[in-house]
A and B are shown apart, each in its own frame.
Chain A
Amino acid sequence: MALKEKDPVSGTNLTGHEWDGITELDTPVPWAARWALWGSIAIAAGYWVFYPSFPTVTDYAKGILGYSSRLEVVSSLKEAEAERRQTFAPFQSGDIASLAKDPSLEARYGAAISKLYEDNCAACHTAELTGQEGFPNLTDNHWLWSGTPEEIEYTIRYGINATHDETRMAQMLAFGADEMLEKPQVTEVVEFVLALSGQDHDALAVEAGEVVFEENCAACHGDDGRGGYENGAPDLGDDQWIYGGTRNDIYHSVYYGRQGVMSAWEGRLDDPQIRMLTLYLLWSAEDAPS
């Protein structure tokens, strides 16, 4: 059969194939699809020339624009930083104590900082800052490490029992497991702590418990059990507990010890952000009912 023969009905070229008298139309691909194909090949070639593309023997083809996604993100981060410097100007420098005295900051920046708090801290301390088992309440009046702006800033920066060299160390010893106290002594001191915090207790054991407390616990928790500000030992006389205030919980704390870990935020957060969070905690602590 001759080439370029046309189908008499549709006027389209035939392919020239024939099977038992049946022929085949040679319908071209629609022009739009053809354009899309050649167009995308041309764009790919353009990318090849302009952008980093293919590895070479010792390096890679860098493209004539010299584009680098890594350098680009570095410079866009610098821009972001500059924007933040403007937006959060008051926090860029200056000492935290004088910032804490400025009452206008909370109204202007409180909402923005609450997002920073939620992103980084809420997983442990909860969005309401009230804490949960194992993670202390940040709104109560009793601070483990004192509530001055400088000390709070230090805690956030270096963490507690964290891997940072400057971290704070809070070690509640394992009095039972490490055999510093006999089991009955642990039971007695637990009753004393229950009494201290105004809960139901076994009055007979309290007296012996008080002796155990004075000898073993007062050094950190204070003579009256109301906590010390230098060692992270909590107040045992209030109704705020990190690990729970039931007889079982307290027994577990005394027998096995507790070493709560709070990560060091230096490196993850920059200085202005740490300042903002410090102030945020101070504002919340004042607002909250004690």
Chain B
Amino acid sequence: MSTHHQKLERHSLGFAMTILVVASIGGLVEIAPLFTIENTVEKVEGMRPYTPLELAGRDIYVREGCYACHSQMIRTLRSDVERYGHYSLAAESMYDHPFQWGSKRTGPDLARIGGKYSDAWHVAHLEAPRELVEGSIMPGYAFLSEARLATGHLPASLKALSRAGVPYTKAQIENAEKDAARQADFEQNYEGELQDSYGDNVQVRDFDGAPGRLTEMDALVAYLQMLGTLADLETLNPQESSR
């Protein structure tokens, strides 16, 4: 048994080549699927890039580590679907860099939280979870209602994402700062513009219930209320998108 090994180990060039072959099998298995990602992501109507306000909310979600306790991945299991709704699609995280599937559910899955509760409930719950849900172990995030939302970096964020393949237009990148403020505008004056730019499923209103102030709470609640509402699941053909 030791003869082959000995031959291999004593020929430096042959040994190096063998290492290369074995390691590239691992690489192939990991990298090759990325070239055919188009086949993996099913086509579904309604998916669009996040608006600047939703994106800012998503950044806060990541910053605060909500993903440590909440998943955004409804698995194809009866128990998951019964509790949280339609199983998650690959398409639903195609504009996520990185995705927020998470790996632990200390709290419930949030993939379809959009529309389940009112804005007022989210604000009250994020500020003081135990006031609304007896025995909740979720930490409070009251400071989000006080913190003004920084929007200066949003054009750069959109630009970076567009380099990673998210189809933001030039106008969307230029207007990112303005669009963020407009989506949370109390008077909803710019609903038409935002929907023309991003799509009919953009929700425009004052999310945090504090008119005239653009806060981090606005952004986070806008993000939560959008989650799981974009993909038009009724147009999805289960046979065609079976996996």
The interface of chain A, by Cβ under 8 A from chain B, is 3, 13, 15-16, 26, 28, 52, 54-60, 68-74, 76-77, 80, 119, 123-124, 126-127, 132, 134-135, 162-163, 260-264, 268
Residues of B within 8 A of A132 (CB): 131-132
Cα–Cα distance between A59 and B183 once the two chains are bound (Å): 40
B2 contact set on A, CB distance < 8 A: 3, 13, 15-16, 26
In whole angstroms, what is the CA distance A134 to B121 when docked?
9
**B118 and A127: CB pair below 8 A?**
no
How far in angstroms is the closest Cβ of chain B from A256? Answer: 9
B69 at the interface (CB under 8 A from A): no
User: Which 8 A-B pairs rank lowest in CB-CB distance, beginning with the nearest?
Assistant: A261-B118, A68-B242, A69-B76, A73-B76, A55-B36, A76-B78, A55-B33, A71-B242
Cβ 8 A contact of B241, one of A28, A58, A70, A124? A70
Contact A260 B32 (CB under 8 A): no
Pick out which of these stretches binds chain A: B47-55, B80-88, B168-176.
Answer: B80-88
Listed in ascending order, the chain B residues whose CB lies under 8 Å from chain A are 1-3, 6, 29, 32-33, 36, 39-40, 76-78, 81-83, 85, 87, 115-121, 124-125, 131-134, 203, 238-239, 241-243
Of B3, B39, B120, which is within 8 A of A261 by CB? B120
**CB atoms of B82 and A77 under 8 A apart:** yes
Measured CB to CB, the closest approach of chain B to A270, in angstroms, equals 11
- Of B78, B117, B124, chain A has the most CB atoms within 10 Å of the CB of B78
Interchain CA distance A218-B13 in the complex, whole Å? 94
Q: In the complex, A60→B37 CA distance in Å?
A: 10
Collect the chain A residues with CB atoms within 8 Å of residue B32's CB. Answer: 54-55
When chains A and B are docked, how far (Å) is the Cα of A52 from the Cα of B39? 13
Select one of A70, A261, A262 contacting B243, CB under 8 A.
Answer: A70
Chain B residues within an 8 Å CB radius of A28: 1
| Contacts A/B (CB < 8 Å), 26 sampled | A55-B32, A55-B33, A55-B36, A55-B39, A55-B40, A60-B36, A60-B40, A60-B243, A70-B76, A70-B87, A70-B241, A72-B76, A73-B77, A73-B81, A74-B238, A76-B78, A77-B78, A77-B82, A119-B83, A123-B132, A135-B121, A163-B115, A260-B120, A261-B118, A263-B117, A268-B85
- Name the residue on A nearest B5 (C-beta): A15
Q: Which residues of B contact A263 (CB under 8 A)?
A: 115-118
